[in-house]
Amino acid sequence: MLAITVQTESGPALARPSADELAALLRRIGGDDDHFAVAERIPGADQVFLQTWREGSGPFAVEHRDGGPDRHFRAECADAGAVAEVFLAWARGTESWQTALDWRPADLYSTPGLDAQTRAAAEERARTDIRTGFWTAEEVAQGVCDAFDPDETPVTVEQARRIVAQLWQERLAEQAQWPAQTDPDRVARAFGALASQGLTALMNFTCCGSCALSEVAGERAEGDRGFVFFHYQDTAAAADGHGLSIRYGAYPDSGADSAAIGRSVAAALAAVGLPVAWDGDPTKVIEVTPLRWHKRLPSGR
């Protein structure tokens, strides 16, 4: 068995495959909904992987990374058997894979065909979503793509991915300097405590207050007497340094009191060391301010 895991587009990760299983898996790459394979070692190391992509019967695009974007290399190969041998050698830790293909530094970030003004606007959109800390890189890239009119200033998904990849790495470098526990970690702890107290506790829930209030009951667990949430716009405001607005209320059929729920929410936030601004009025949101929104990015690529 090989000390690797292999993730494909078509199913769950395959752990510790045999050489024959790995070769068979790679030979099928290129079919519908089965375009890529990503191999990582067991035990894993951050930003160390070998991957390939193929469309139909075209050549394999093979990439390996050894610790960061500056150690990311790419090659092409039309021979499925040769690609399988590279993966096997890499998995076994032998050196033959290093010279088996014509590896060249990968251009991960450039966006040919995208003018500077549009790229700058796309970067700003990507930074906004990355700062929230809730979206995966692929979700951020799709959001960037969707933000532009395809008939006027189109940004392709591939261009968006390249823009996001660079900014994602910058954010990872920033967060390496953050303290072990950040304010968003404290918010998450408070929401976990509130969920255990019979509240539907949802972070970064839907686009706005109106949508959240109309949809929150659909997330209600049995026994929940009320709810607490903040929505996308609240998250974005917090990420921009404006503090976090926390919204709450009682379900009409629960017999609970919104003011009492507000007091529970305020107490849970204060218990984890967050500054709470609220005068007890159940018609007003609870503000957590000042707040430093250092939410770590989702794991994975």
| pLDDT > 70? residue 300 | no
Phi and psi at residue 217, to the nearest 5°: -60, -25
Report the chain's mean pLDDT, rounded to a whole number: 94
Q: Give the pLDDT of residue 44.
A: 86
How far, in whole angstroms, is CA 197 from its chain's centroid?
Answer: 28
Q: Give the pLDDT of residue 10.
A: 85
Nearest to 49 by CA among 27, 30, 71, 23: 71
For the chain, what are the domain ranges?
4-105, 116-175, 183-288
What's the alpha-carbon Rg for the chain, to the nearest Å?
24
Q: Give the pLDDT of residue 4.
A: 96
For residues 198-203, average pLDDT:
98
For residues 52-67, average pLDDT:
93
Burial of residue 195 (number of CB atoms within 10 Å: 0-12, 13-18, 19+) = middle
Segment 141-162, tens digit of pLDDT: 999 999 999 888 889 988 999 9
| pLDDT > 70? residue 196 | yes
Q: Give the pLDDT of residue 46.
A: 84
Contact 220, 212 (CB under 8 A): no
What confidence tier does 168 reach under pLDDT thresholds 50, 70, 90?
very high
Please report where in the chains the tokens 């509240």 appear, as a residue.
199
CA 200 – CA 192 distance, rounded (Å): 10
What confidence tier does 222 reach under pLDDT thresholds 50, 70, 90?
very high
What confidence tier does 235 reach under pLDDT thresholds 50, 70, 90?
very high
Nearby residues of 290 by Cβ (< 8 Å), 6 or more positions away: 243, 275
For residues 211-217, average pLDDT:
97
C-alpha distances in Å from residue 175, one per residue of 114, 159, 166, 296: 29, 25, 15, 7
Segment 257-293, tens digit of pLDDT: 999 999 999 999 999 999 999 999 999 999 999 999 9
Handedness of CA 227, 232, 238, 243 (dihedral sign): negative
Segment 102-134, tens digit of pLDDT: 999 988 899 988 999 999 999 999 999 999 999
Q: Dump strand ranges (E) for the chain.
A: 4-8, 14-15, 36-41, 48-53, 60-66, 72-77, 104-105, 199-202, 226-229, 244-250, 276-277, 286-288
For residues 175-179, average pLDDT:
95
For residues 59-80, average pLDDT:
93
For residues 82-106, average pLDDT:
95
What confidence tier does 12 reach under pLDDT thresholds 50, 70, 90?
confident
Specify the pairing of strand 244-250 against strand 226-229: antiparallel
Q: Give the pLDDT of residue 171.
A: 96
